[in-house]
Structure 1
Amino acid sequence: MLTLKQLETFVQVVELGTFERASQRLNATQSTVSKRISELEQATGLPLFDRSRRSARLTEEGERLLELAYATLEGAKQILELNEKPDRTLHRVRIGFTELAALTWLPGFLRDYTTERPDIRLDITIDMSRTLYQQFQDGELDLVVIPQVPEAFAQPGVEAQLLEEVEMAFMAREGLVGDPSPVSFRALERYPLISQGKRSGFAHDINRWLSHQGMTASNLTADNLLALVGLVAAGRGISVFPKLCVQRFAREQGLEILETSPPLPTIGYYALYHGGVRISLFEELALRLASAADFTSPFFFSEHSLSRSESHSSEGM
């Protein structure tokens, strides 16, 4: 007999990629998960997974059943909610952000969104992008805002919404690099390269791109973005920063932007979420995040400070 438990288990296995992760999400044993999948295959008469592969890869029949499973579970959810009053419904969304979002647009978004949607509780995690992505894969987070992770786009059931392309640039303490602009990468190799660690998504992408340009790996790492700014301001080396964000207070910290040839690539920041029974809620939230995302303005940098910095910059020209 076909049951909702079987369909729910099937969806979780597909979304999380393995029977083990599905069992953790469902708080069930792996044998229970396997049994439900076997019962579902017996009830439908369809082979749902390719057993020749280590991961839970769907067959063509499984792909067709997945869409119907989503629709069935959503319908069941709506039926069970018929007797609930809207003012008693509270949706909990576990969402992860990187430090760059927390330093720029996230505080304003949380202030406004809490007022707009009192029916939604956002449980916030701030961490490095690779850590957030692992928590997303393990089912510990429902939605993450991180730089593009290529492997995520190949996973079934994972949806992505582009929030913003972030411009990157090399920076150094004023006067440290005396080469004429634009500076070549060969010239930059004379200076220690400081970057965020391996858990940083944008550092991973930038370092890989730099290696293709012939630059060696960084000499020093610091996971905290503001600590990284401090190290560069102290003259310990050069680093790559989100250009417009750090530019807002770069002069006050004694930093200058190094124009390079070729220029650094932009880094796309995405909202990633699972396409399950709550996909409409996650889609709406992702679109709201896209409208709020602005990685160029530090929330702690006042308009007065900005005007004073720009005035000082114009006087020095």
Structure 2
Amino acid sequence: MLTLKQLEAFVQIVELGTFELAAKRLNATQSTISKRITELEEASGLRLFDRSKRTARLTADGERLLQLARDTLSSANRILQMKDEAAAGRQRVRAGFTDLCALTWLPQFFRECSEAYPLINLEITIDMSRNLYRMFEDGDLDIVVAPIDSALLKQKNHKFEVLRSVEIAFIGRSEFIRSPSKVPIHNLDKFNILVQGKESSYAQGINEWLSEKGATLVPTMIANNLVALVGLISAGYGIGVLPKRFVMNLSKPTDLVEIKTHPELPDMTYYLLTRDHGGNKAVDKLVEEISRAADFTTPFLH
């Protein structure tokens, strides 16, 4: 029968180089370590070490088993950690955020919450808004902070609140602007257009809004990474729809400018979405802290 002690002995031998050092590390006799390896080889049907060498050298089968053994021990440690956290009263909260959160207020928020609430185990996922929503629907997230279609939220009868409104604008390099006057939306089709893809709820909403205004802007490039979009627009590749104040605070004053349009783009609404968590006080605390801390205007690495 395969055991964790056998895998532990196997990994320690590989990492330390000899059976003797592994025995010392594991506070066991060398014969005990040798017995565990023999049992592991019998259980797996694999010859793990080349015993013709003076040091513990892995066979090809041993090389293949090594990562599996490490992963198994890591998973076992996580299970034991869950037990310890439960005994200590720790509560797990799974929260999903967009990359704009991660680039602005989220790092400081995580640091402060870790210090203020040491018994809350906050697991963070960063992804596009539609992916986050699907994870929430599947029960894999307890909290989501993202710009999600409000009609969908109301239709599903979810518990949500408006968190912040974020100013959005077409952004490009200053040399693209020939006049201080507002540019009609349909005149922007002469530029390369950079956008986020279909997994961005707001990007899809903007496409629908533009269509209602009679403007059809065909994207030249799709990138689901906000930093990549800002970088390419800064390099002069084209223009894009970006969080206005975030970008202005991120870039040098003369690098990027707002392209004022007629009509102006609508704000992007960020929602704070939660589920019925059965009185989980950790979720309540984090929702309260998120409502206080969310600030989408200042880059974290400013």
Shorter-chain TM-score category? Answer: 0.5 to 0.7
Alignment of 1:154-233 (within 5 A): 154-156=155-157, 158-216=158-216, 217-233=218-234
Q: Secondary structure at the match of 2:261?
A: coil
* 2:103 paired with 1:107: no
Shift of 1:87: 8.4
Quote how far apart the aligned CAs of 1:189 are.
Answer: 1.9
Q: Secondary structure at the match of 2:121?
A: strand
Query: Any idea what the Cα deviations from partners look like across 1:20-58, whole Å, max 9, x if unmatched?
Result: xxxxxxxxxxxxxxxxxxxxxxxxxxxxxxxxxxxxxxx
* 2: CA distance, partners of 1:253 / 1:278: 50
Matching residue of 2:125: 125
Query: Tell me, what secondary structure is at the counterpart of 2:114?
Result: helix
Contact 1:161 1:287 in 2 (8 A): no
Which amino acid counterpart does residue 291 of structure 2 have in structure 1?
A
Q: Which runs of 5+ in 1 are unaligned?
A: 1-85, 302-317
Q: Distance in 1 between matches of 2:279 and 2:201?
A: 27
Query: Hey, what's the Cα distance between the residues in 2 that align with 1:154 and 1:280?
Result: 27
Residues 283-302 of structure 1 aligned to structure 2 (within 5 Å):
283-301=284-302
Asked if 1:243 is matched to 2:241, the reply is no
Residue aligning to 1:234? 235
Runs of 4+ residues over 4 Å off in structure 1: none
- Aligned partners of 1:220 and 1:208: how far apart in 2? 18
**C-alpha separation in 2, matches of 1:87 and 1:261:** 59
Report if aligned partners of 1:233, 1:253 keep a CA contact under 8 Å in 2. Answer: no
Counterpart contact for 2:120–2:282, Cα < 8 Å:
no
TM-score w.r.t. length of structure 1: 0.64
Aligned partners of 1:148 and 1:267 also within 8 Å: no
Q: What TM-score, normalized to structure 2?
A: 0.67
Counterpart of 2:112 in structure 1: which amino acid? D
RMSD after superposition: 2.0
- For residue 189 of structure 1, give the secondary structure of its aligned residue in structure 2: helix
Correspondence 1:66-105 to 2 at 5 A: 88-105=88-105
Following the alignment from structure 2 to structure 1, what is the Cα–Cα distance between the partners of residues 280 and 120? 14
**Alignment partners' CA distance in 2, 1:228 and 1:221:** 9
Matched residue type, 2:119: D
One-letter amino acid matched to 1:292: A
2:130–2:148 CA contact under 8 A, matched in 1: no
Aligned-partner Cα distance in 2 for 1:109–1:276:
22
Q: Is the 8 A contact 1:98 1:129 kept in 2?
A: yes
1:161–1:286: 8 Å Cα contact kept in structure 2?
no
Identity across the alignment (%):
41
Q: Deviations over 1:133-191 (max 9, x none)?
A: 111111111111110323122224x2112221101011111112324421111221221
Match of 1:153 in 2: 154
Residues 184 and 261 of structure 1 are in contact (CA less than 8 Å); yes or no, is this contact kept in structure 2?
yes
Mapped partners of 1:243, 1:114: distance in 2: 30
Structure 2 unaligned residues grouped into runs of 5+: 1-85
CA distance in 1, matches of 2:114, 2:173: 40
Cα distance, 1:179–1:189 mapped onto 2, change above 3 Å: farther
Structure ID, larger Rg: 2
Q: Which amino acid aligns with 2:238?
A: G
Contact 1:179–1:187 under 8 Å retained in 2: no
